[in-house]
Amino acid sequence: MKIIMFAGGTGKRFWPASRKQSPKQFLSVIGDKPLIGLKYDYLRLGFNPQDIYLSTGEQYNGEVQNLLPEMPSENFIFEPEMRDNGPAALYAVLYIARHNLDEVISIQWSDHFIKKPEVFVKALVEAEKLVLSEGKAVIMGVPPRFPSPHRGYIKYGKKIKSLDSKTELMLCEFIRFVEKPSAEVAKEYVQSGDYSWNPAYFVATGRQIVEKYKTFAPEMYEEINAIATNNFDDHSKLRYKNVEKIGFDYIFSENLSPDEALVVNVDMGWSDVGEWVALKETLETNNDENVIQGHVVDLGSKDCLIYNYDDTKLISTIDLNGMVVVCTKDVVAIFNKDDNGKLKEYLNKLEDNGLSSYH
C-alpha cells in the first residue's frame, strides 16, 4: 500500500500562527515536533519510507525535505499551484499509480494528532486487506468522545465483525457522510450510537479513486491525466492552472454509495487540530477549562484558548468567556471561539485592505 500525506493547505483557520510561508502542518503545535513530522512518525510504525509520499505546494520545495529527511526525494509530490485538495489528490494518485491503478492507496492528512499511533497503523493494515478482499473503499471512523459541532460525521449501519479484539477495530456498514452539525444535532448523533467522527482517512485502489473523477470531475481528470501521460513535464504542468478549485470530498467521498464502501471504526485517540477551537478540544479536560501557552497571566476567564508566541510581551486577560487570543510577533488576534470559521473571510478582508503581508 502507498500512503499519501497531504500538506498543501495554508491553515487559514489557524491564523495568525499559521501563515502562507509557514502553514500549521509545519508548526510544533503539540510537543516539539511539527504536525507533519508527527504524522510521518505514526506511519513509520508500520510502513517503509519508500511507501510514504507527501503532497504539498511547490513553494515548500526544500523545506519539507528538511522536515522529513528520511523520505526518498522522488516521494515528494509538488503541486504546480494550489488548487485545493480535489486536484491535488488526483495529481498524487496518478503520480503514484498511473502505471498500476490497482495499487492500494491511503489518503491521509498531515495536521492531525493521534494518541494511539499503533492502533492507527493496525487499522490501516486491516483496511488494506479489506480493499483487496472485498473490492470496496474503506473509510476510517473515530468513535466520538464528545458532541462536537466542529467535526464531520459518518453514519454507519450494522456492525459486521470485530477485526481485532485487542484494538477493538469494528467493521461496519457505510450509510453516508454528514457535514458539521449544530451543537444540538451533534448531541443527538453521539447519543444515538450510530455516528463516528470523520477524520477523512480513506483506503482504496487507484482505480476506485480515478473512476470517481472520471464520472464527477471529467474535465479535471482530462487535464491532470494529460499531465501524467506526459510524465509530469514542466510544459504539461501548465495545464494544472485550468482545473477547478474543489475539495476531494465533493468528488470522491460524497459520491460513495453504501455498496461501494465499508467503515472501520477505530479508537485511536484522533484529534483534528486544523483550527484553534479543535486544538482546545484536544487539550482540554472539560469545556470550561482554559488552554494557555506562553507568557500569559489570566484572572477569572473560562473556556478560552490563549496562546502567546512572543516572549517579549505579557498577555493579560480578565473574565473572558469562550474566547481565542493568539499573539505572535506581528499580530494579536482576538475572537469568539465559535467564530473560528470566519478567519478565512477575515483574511480575505486583509487582502482587500492591502495587508497581505500579514496573511
- SS3 per residue for the chain: CEEEEECCCCCHHHCCCCECCECHHHCCCCCCCCHHHHHHHHHHCCCCHHHEEEEEEHHHCCHHHHHCCCCCHHHEEEECCCCCHHHHHHHHHHHHHCCCCCCEEEEEECCEEECCHHHHHHHHHHHHHHHHHHCCEEEEEECCCCCCCCCCEEEEEEEEEEEECCCCEEEEEEEEEECCCCHHHHHHHHHHCCEEEEEEEEEEEHHHHHHHHHHHCHHHHHHHHHHHHCCCCHHHHHHHHHCCCCCHHHHCHHHCCHHHEEEEECCCCEEECCCHHHHHHHHCCCCCCCEEECCEEEECCECCEEEECCCCCCEEEECCECEEEEECCCCEEEEEHHHHHHHHHHHHHHHHCCCHHHC
Cβ atoms 315, 327 nearer than 8 A: yes
State if pTM tops 0.75. yes
Q: End-to-end CA distance of the chain: give it in Å, rounded.
A: 37
- Check residue 5 and give its pLDDT: 97
> What is the tens place of the pLDDT at every residue in 146-183?
888 888 999 999 999 999 888 889 999 999 999 889 98
Average pLDDT over residues 270-294: 90
pLDDT band at 102 (very low <50, low <70, confident <90, very high): very high
Per-residue pLDDT, averaged over 283-297, amounts to: 93
* Residue 27 confidence (pLDDT): 84
pLDDT tens digits, one per residue of 199-239: 999 999 999 999 999 999 999 999 999 999 999 999 999 99
- pLDDT for residue 23: 84
How confident is the model at residue 281, as a pLDDT? Answer: 86
pLDDT of residue 305: 97
User: What is the pLDDT, as a whole number, of residue 21?
Assistant: 80
Domains by residue range for the chain, with CATH: 2-277 (3.90.550.10), 284-358 (no CATH)
Q: Is the pLDDT of residue 139 over 90?
A: yes
User: Mean pLDDT over all residues of the chain?
Assistant: 94
What's the rounded Cα separation, in Å, for the pair 323 and 291? Answer: 11
Mean pLDDT of 4-18: 89
Which pLDDT belongs to residue 96?
96
At 24 the pLDDT is 81
The model's pLDDT over 181-196, given as tens digits with 9 standing for 90+, comes to 998 999 999 999 999 9
What is the predicted pLDDT for the residue at 97?
92
Q: Which of 10-14, 49-53, 240-244, 268-272 has the lowest mean pLDDT?
A: 10-14
- The CA distance from 99 to 229, in Å, is 10
Q: Please give the distance of CA 69 from its chain centroid, rounded to a whole number.
A: 22
Confidence label for 120 from pLDDT (cuts 50, 70 and 90): very high
For residue 75, pLDDT over 90 is answered with yes
**Is it the case that residue 10 has pLDDT exceeding 80?**
no
Distance, in Å, from the CA atom of 324 to the CA atom of 350, rounded to the nearest integer, reads: 19
